[in-house]
Amino acid sequence: MSSDLISLRRDLHRRPEPAWREFYTTARIAAELESRVDLDELYVGSDAIASEHRLAVPDDLELAEWYEQARATGVDETTLESLEGGQTGLVAVLERGEGPTVGLRVDIDGLPRPESDDPAHVPAAEGFRSEHEGAMHACGHDAHAAIGVGVLEAIAESGEGLDESRSSSEQGSDVDFSGTLKVFFQPAEEVVGGGKSMAKSEHIRDVDALLAVHVGLDHPTGEIVAGIDGFLAVRHLEAEFTGESAHAGGHPEQGRNAVQAMAAAVQNLYGIPRHNDGRTRVNAGVVEGGSAANVIPEEARILAEVRGETTELMEYMDRKARHTIRNAAAMHECEVAFTTGAEAPSATSDQELVDIVADVAGRTAGVENVLERDELGGSEDATFLMRAVQENGGTACYVGVGTDHPGGHHTATFDVDEASIDHGVDVLSGAIERISRTQT
């Protein structure tokens, strides 16, 4: 099994596709599943997500370019058609008798950054470095996709091999799943843009327990974190300032200076009061404005993000940030228009599932160390799915699978130790099986 998963992971690594451009990736996963797993349902692209809830979708030109690039590889045309306009991702369903519906969420997108060509970088040395210049799987989502396929395969086999005559104790702890398994291959996590569209789809509604997974995060191969917490709720916010241009030498008084407005906003955004209820964040991550040295700038833009330890704290920051920007614009007699970009709420891992994962992990070959909890300290839109399940009365848990990674996440030399793919498959399929029995 592993060697197939490694091949799959390497193929995906070679063709990293950033958010909402996972055309090849989606098609490749679909083909892999069809050839290897006896699925009950496979929802692809527009059938897998609630398209109207996609966030941070690139423009048509950008989408078209990646779409054509994927088509050129010869992937299945019918599959491709269902992905048109950046409707990527899949939901794979296995039905194996009575029991709860267990979900697993894996993300599949790459990052818009170049990959190292240093011979010490394994993908470069072994020939599966990114063929898409300027794009890279620098956060392990290629491994996540492989784990998703592997878990489906493991559970499919466990179900098939289930012999009613044997007592459950005679069977291995991870070989008698009973219920429904749904694996969510989620697009666009890196821009926190895809989680909402899956959380709003019908597929999440009947999920009783959801697991999500991430490799690495500074945990070494052989270490499992049963329940990751500390997700900061996040929202992206774009502000476009419009003033009025004027000749900077001749009539500065006739301008309404959008760059002054933007600068006043930036200065005061970072000065939004810290909040006693927990961590808050704000960042004016991208700014630009003006057209020429001798023209009072008519236009400026801030792409900001706000975060909070809770969704409420993020909303506090969002409210304050808009207020600050609005008044900075007004101060310089500019108009300002907001576009809300991607977002994700905060979420916590339920103790009930954390206990199961910890216990299963402790019994899994290759796992040397199990941490019950750790903090992420960043954001993740798996939280949309986690909260959707929790709000429906279900439980959710975000699992960390350690992997030795030479470079940090999002850097040019990030890579995964492929041994961790098996660990992920084993721990997750074991936990899924256990959940199915526990909740029956």
Using CB under 8 A as the binding rule, whether residue 290 contacts a copy of itself is answered as: yes
252 contributes a contact to a copy of itself by CB under 8 A: yes
- Terminal-to-terminal C-alpha distance of the chain: 29
| Dihedral sign computed on CA atoms, order 377, 381, 385, 390 | positive
Task: Tell me the backbone φ, ψ of residue 419, rounded to 5 degrees.
Answer: -60, -30
Instruction: Determine the size of the site formed for a copy of itself (CB under 8 A).
Output: 64
What are the residues whose beta carbons fall under 8 Å from the beta carbon of 340, sequence distance 6 or more? 235, 236, 237, 238
Task: Determine which residue in the list 34, 333, 335, 359 makes contact with a copy of itself, applying CB under 8 A.
Answer: 333
Give whichever of 121 and 307 is closer to a copy of itself, judged by the CB atom.
307
Indicate which single residue of 209, 328, 358, 427 sits in contact with a copy of itself (rule: CB under 8 A).
328
Judged by CB, which is closer to a copy of itself: 259, or 353? 259
410 annotated to a ligand binding site: yes
- Residue 423 counted as an annotated binding residue: no
Q: Would you count residue 163 as binding a copy of itself (CB under 8 A)?
A: no
Cβ(113)–Cβ(410) below 8 Å: yes
Cα separation, 198 vs 183, whole angstroms: 11
CA distance linking residue 126 with residue 140, whole number of Å: 17
Instruction: Specify the 3-state DSSP secondary structure of 41.
Output: strand
Nearer to a copy of itself, 187 or 297 (CB): 297
Of the two residues 87 and 186, which places its CB atom closer to a copy of itself in the complex? Answer: 186
Cα separation of 342 and 278, whole Å?
22
Give yes or no for residue 116 binding a copy of itself (CB under 8 A): no
Q: How far apart are CA 27 and CA 319, in angstroms?
A: 40
User: Token match 């599943």: residue?
Assistant: 33
Q: Binders of a copy of itself among 3-32, rule CB under 8 A? A: none
Q: Which is nearer to a copy of itself, 290 or 366 (CB)?
A: 290
Name which of 409, 411, 381, 420 is nearest 184 in CA terms. Answer: 381
Does residue number 294 form part of the binding site for a copy of itself (CB under 8 A)?
yes
By beta-carbon proximity to a copy of itself, the closer residue of 266 and 360 is 266
CB of 276 to a copy of itself, least distance (A): 5
* Closest to 217 in 3D by CA, of 412, 374, 6: 374
Told to check if 250 binds a copy of itself by CB under 8 A, we report yes
Residue 406: left if φ>0, alpha if ψ -120 to 50, beta else—which one? alpha
User: Which residues define the annotated binding site?
Assistant: 139, 141, 190, 214, 410
Task: Summarize as ranges the residues that interact with a copy of itself (CB under 8 A).
Answer: 232, 234, 236, 247-253, 255, 257, 259-260, 262-264, 266-271, 273-277, 279-281, 283-297, 300, 303-305, 307, 316, 323-324, 327-328, 330-333, 341, 377-379
User: Which residues define the annotated binding site for Mn(2+)?
Assistant: 139, 141, 190, 214, 410
